[in-house]
Chains A and B, each alone.
Chain A
Amino acid sequence: AQSVAQPEDQVNVAEGNPLTVKCTYSVSGNPYLFWYVQYPNRGLQFLLKYITGDNLVKGSYGFEAEFNKSQTSFHLKKPSALVSDSALYFCAVRVNYGQNFVFGPGTRLSVLP
Chain B
Amino acid sequence: GAGVSQSPRYKVAKRGQDVALRCDPISGHVSLFWYQQALGQGPEFLTYFQNEAQLDKSGLPSDRFFAERPEGSVSTLKIQRTQQEDSAVYLCASRHSIGTGGPYNEQFFGPGTRLTVL
Contacts and interface: CB of A to CB of B under 8 A. Distances in A.
A44 B91 contact: yes
Nearest to A99: B48
A13 B18 CA distance: 44
A56 B35 CA distance: 29
A34 interface: yes
A43 B110 contact: yes
Interface in B89-118: 91, 93, 101, 103-104, 106-112
A94 interface: yes
Chain A interface, DSSP helix/strand/loop, else mixed:
strand
Interface residues of B, number: 26
B41 A42 contact: no
Nearest to B44: A103
Interface residues of A, number: 23
A106 B44 CA distance: 12
B112 to A, nearest CB: 6
Interface string B19-38: 00000000000010101000
Given A43-B109, A51-B104, A99-B33, 14 more contacts: A41-B111, A43-B91, A43-B111, A44-B91, A44-B109, A46-B108, A51-B101, A90-B43, A94-B104, A100-B56, A102-B45, A104-B42, A105-B41, A105-B42
Interface of A: 4, 32, 34, 36, 41-46, 49, 51, 90, 92, 94, 99-106
Interface of B: 4, 31, 33, 35, 40-45, 48, 55-56, 59, 91, 93, 101, 103-104, 106-112
